[in-house]
Structure 1
Amino acid sequence: MKRVLIKNAIAINEGKQFETDLLIKGDFIEKMASDISNDNAEVIDFKGNLLMPGVIDDQVHFREPGLTHKGNIATESRAAVAGGITSFMEQPNTNPQTTTIEKLEAKFSVAKESSFANYSFLFGGTNDNLEELKKLDKKSCSGVKLFLGSSTGNMLVDNEKVLEQIFLNTEMVISTHCEDEGTIRRNLAKYQEEFGDAIPIKYHPIIRSEEACYLSSSKAIALAKKTGARLHVFHLSTGKETALFRNDIPLQDKKITAEVCIHHLWFSDDDYDEKGTLIKWNPAVKTKDDRNQLWQALLDGRIDVIATDHAPHTIEEKDNIYSKAPSGGPLVQHALPAMLQKHSEGLITLEQIVQKMSHNPALLFDIEKRGFIKEGFYADLVEIAPKTKWEVKKDNIFYKCGWSPFEGLIFDNQVKRTLVNGHLAFNNGIFSKQRNAKRLTFDR
């Protein structure tokens, strides 16, 4: 069985930084110690670079099946690996939607053949698929996704009796997109009356408002408390919502958790003038004050996970008037570099980045043997070259859509190598032709 020996690394793991070597046997970390030697191992000398556990992204849209002109599992997982993301959980609003077990397994079959990163898929709840949802295997599916705001097709769950039954009938994590549809429709109608279809992009966070987000998330949390369900609220975008979550108990004891995405930590409504529809997301990027409060909640433990909500569209689709430009953007390749940039600016520690992007997603979703640098765990690992400047340019963007909201930005830290299950998947800009990704399993 192949062995790889990592030498002279500075590991960031479980709240500590320490010098170490790492011996990998096959898919797994066999030994972590100082001065390991093994004559039969391939040696990778980190030369004092940082060693982090691979990032686990709990929310991506890779667009396959049905929307593959925007991206697919192969292209987007490849970009993810280039950004240090070694595992992902993909969302159900594809075409067809992932709302039956048959369609869920069809996605797993595609990923088995094409994914560069470890993979799982969320099952989409609807107003009429409760019986199918009850049949899910909790050890082999990452969880259930509910849209409690506008969504594609019939994925808006607005029947309150059905919603309560879903909350009562699954032991898995229920992840929710929380925006109140009625509030959004009223706000949209107001601005359509004034501007028609060409609503200025600056009104997006007013249409998809703080009120819309808070009404929906507070309702979901109330239902979770009533039913005892395990709830995870995706992509918080307002400061007001952060007050709904706790930081006085450890993550393992929380029944209700929260996530924040890169774009809500990076951009604010001041950026709409420059970026326009390129930073049109749902929920919307809101004010500087919202961003500051999201950062505070992230750092004090009310927000548990950092994710991307990677959702590519072609540049032609995005380059449209407000009513026709879709929401979402590509982020998996640049998420970890963006957070490392915030570390360079003194906003977050390396240990906190690893906790929120690797450890906590693994704990929150009960993922088996991933998210940590530990003997016996899968060797999902990232090498970071600190103080290594590089510019985001079209010729180094790996998304199928070919653009990034970070274009022109110079990052101070670079992902140098990424190992997926002990296999060197990405090495200084070069991808391995061999894939070693696996389906995620869950200890439930």
Structure 2
Amino acid sequence: MSSIIIKGAHVVNEGKIQVQDIFIKNGRIEKIDTSINVNADKVIDGEGQYVLPGLIDDQVHFREPGLTYKANIFTESRTAVAGGTTSFMEMPNTVPNTLTQKLLQDKFDIAQDTSLANYSFFMGAANDNIEEVLKTNPRDVCGIKVFMGSSTGNMLVDDDKALENIFRNAPTLVATHCEDEATIRRNLAYYKDKYGDAVTIDMHPLIRSEEACYLSSSKAVDLAKKNNTRLHILHISTGKETQLFDNTTPLSEKRITAEACVHHLWFSDEDYRTKGNFIKWNPAVKTAQDRAQILEALLDGHIDVIATDHAPHTLEEKQQPYLQAPSGGPLVQHALLALLDMVHAGKMTLEQLVQKTAHNTAICFQIEQRGFIREGYWADLVVVNMHKPYQVTKQNILSKCGWSPFEGHTFASTIEHTIVSGNLAYSEGKIIEVGSGHRLLFNR
């Protein structure tokens, strides 16, 4: 493992921006100071550039096993490091669904051999696998995933006794997808009755409505309060839901936390006209007012972290009519660039960006020695040029699916280097496939 020194960069960490050198050796940050004079195998000139902790994305779908024609852990971890994401937590709705400890271990084995980023995987919950859920090791598994809304295979948990059992007994954090299935089915039946097969994408946020989201999220919160569950609600998409969460308790003491996703901070229902199914997600992108309220809640502490819900599908799948097109899209390559554009627009500060994409995720999940730029911590870093534009083109999209909802957009910033567990994994537009990411560990 080579040594690296970053010289004279603006280091964004723990609420401050300071010009510093960072020396990395044996995978870890050995020294941070205003001037470090050592020999290193690699010198990165950081003058005028910014160093951030690598993003920790607590919600991705890398499609392996079973759906590897869309993506796999190797291709999407490459895409992640090119986007400044150094660690990811991947979801269990692969094929087969990750509903046993054996299937969970299979994914860890694949990642150990192929992932360029640090990794963890959620254990999946179903109506009938509580025995397997209870075997989950809190030390080296990020959490339990519960779909309280549509999913693939056997992963919709719609039995109240099963939910109660999971919330009461889960050995670690429970992360939920919250949309009320009965409400969605009722709404879909209404629009299909009215329009037949001509239901269009602009009806998506009416079918997967505010009511569906709030009913499910409030139910999850009530269950968590009743059972003292460590609950983390994923991809909040409505302003109404933000009031379910507390912004007075210190994050490290919260029992209930929430996540916002980049697409719900960037797009609104006005964008369906031009983007169509390419911004079809579950939960749906909703109104500009919802978008503004989610951002406000993020900044005032009602929402704790930012993630992507990176979920690629092929171009052919997304070009089908609305009712046939699957929900989800690729985001890890451009998430940081989109957030940096929000910094340029004055919607958040760099310090807030770092807090919500790295520090808070590490605190939320109790990740060991990551998420901060500290001596002794693993070196997971991203170097960005804030004033070098980057245009998204078909040719520079790295996700296996080959498309992006940001295609054609020019971001104000460029990612210059990404360092994963002390290895330079991306530099000046090129992936460097040396070394691999590490399995995340948790202080639980």
Q: TM-score, normalised by structure 1?
A: 0.99
| Equivalence map 1:79-228=2 (5 Å) | 79-228=79-228
Q: Any idea what SS the aligned residue of 2:265 has?
A: helix
| Native 8 Å contact 2:315 2:401 kept in 1 | yes
Q: CA deviation at 1:34?
A: 1.2
Check whether the contact 1:117–1:437 (CA below 8 A) recurs between aligned residues. yes
One-letter identity of the residue aligned with 1:292: A
1:309 is matched with which residue?
309
The size of the alignment, in residue pairs, is 444
Cα deviation, residue 55, structure 1? 0.3
Q: CA deviation at 1:168?
A: 1.2
SS in 2 for 1:126: coil
2: CA distance, partners of 1:396 / 1:105: 33
Letter in 2 for 1:114: T
Shift of 1:414: 0.8
Correspondence 1:21 to 2:50 = no
**Cα distance in 2 for residues equivalent to 1:397 and 1:42:** 27
Moved more, 348-357 or 44-53: 44-53
Could you tell me whether the CA contact under 8 Å between 1:115 and 1:435 is conserved in 2? no
1:63 corresponding residue in structure 2: 63
Q: Distance in 1 between matches of 2:340 and 2:226?
A: 39
Give the whole-Å Cα distance in 1 for the aligned partners of 2:312 and 2:2.
36
User: What per-residue deviation string (whole Å, max 9, x for no partner) do you get for residues 305-349 of structure 1?
Assistant: 000000000110000111100000000000000000000000000
Where does 1:265-284 land on structure 2 (aligned, <5 Å)? 265-284=265-284
Say yes or no: does 1:252 pair with 2:277.
no
> C-alpha distance in 2, partners of 1:340/1:13?
15
Which amino acid letter does the alignment assign opposite residue 391 of structure 2? E
- State whether residues 136 and 171 of structure 2, in contact with CA within 8 Å, keep that contact through their aligned partners in structure 1: no
TM alignment of 1:268-347, pairs within 5 A: 268-347=268-347
Query: Following TM superposition, by how much is the alpha carbon of 1:172 offset from its aligned partner in structure 2, in angstroms?
Result: 1.1
SS in 2 for 1:29: strand
Q: Which amino acid aligns with 2:433?
A: K
1:40: Cα distance to partner?
A: 4.6
CA distance in 1 between partners of 2:141 and 2:197 (Å):
40
Query: Which residue type is aligned with residue 109 of structure 1?
Result: D
Question: Residue 198 of structure 1: CA displacement?
Answer: 2.6
Equivalent-residue separation in structure 2 for 1:44 and 1:102 (angstroms): 42
**Shift in Å at residue 45 of structure 1?**
1.2
Aligned partners of 1:233 and 1:307: how far apart in 2? 12
Alignment of 1:357-368 (within 5 A): 357-368=357-368
* Amino acid in structure 2 at the alignment position of 1:308: T
Q: Which amino acid aligns with 1:372?
A: F
1:159 positional shift: 1.1
Distance, in Å, in 2 between the alignment partners of 1:346 and 1:22 is: 28
2:197 aligned counterpart, secondary structure: coil
Amino acid corresponding to residue 167 of structure 1 in structure 2: F
TM-score calculated relative to the size of structure 2? 0.99
Partner of 2:36: 36
2:5–2:40 Cα contact (<8 Å) kept: no
Contact 1:61 1:312 in 2 (8 A): yes
Distance 1:125 1:328 in 2: 21
The DSSP-based 3-state class of the residue aligned with 1:58 is strand
**Secondary structure of 1:259 counterpart:** strand
| Partner secondary structure for residue 198 of structure 2 | coil
Letter in 1 for 2:98: T
Query: Could you say which residue in structure 2 is the equivalent of 1:4?
Result: 4
> Which stretches of structure 1, 4 residues or longer, exceed 4 Å deviation after superposition?
none
Match of 1:430 in 2: 430
Shift of 1:253: 1.1
Counterpart residue identity of residue 356, structure 1 = K
Q: Are the equivalent residues in 1 in contact too, given 2:4–2:44 (CA < 8 A)?
A: yes
Matches within 5 A, 1:329-408: 329-408=329-408
Residue 203 of structure 1 aligns with an amino acid whose one-letter code is: M
Distance 1:230 1:40 in 2: 43
Instruction: Give the residue type in structure 2 aligned to 1:329.
Output: G
Say if 1:171 and 1:229, in contact at 8 Å, map to a contact too. no
Deviations 1:51-94 (A, max 9, x none): 00000000000000000111000000100000000000000000
- For the Cα contact (< 8 Å) 2:97–2:154, is it kept in 1? no
In 2, distance between residues paired with 1:389 and 1:379? 26
Cα deviation, residue 153, structure 1? 1.1
Structure 1: unaligned runs, 5 residues or longer: none
Residue 222 of structure 1 aligns to a residue in which SS?
helix
How many Å apart are 1:239 and its aligned residue?
Answer: 0.4
Gaps of 5+ in 2: none
1:51 and 2:47 equivalent? Answer: no
**Is the partner of 1:363 in helix, strand or coil?**
helix
Q: Give deviations 1:78-128, integer Å, cap 9, x for gaps.
A: 000000000000000000011100000000000011101000000000000
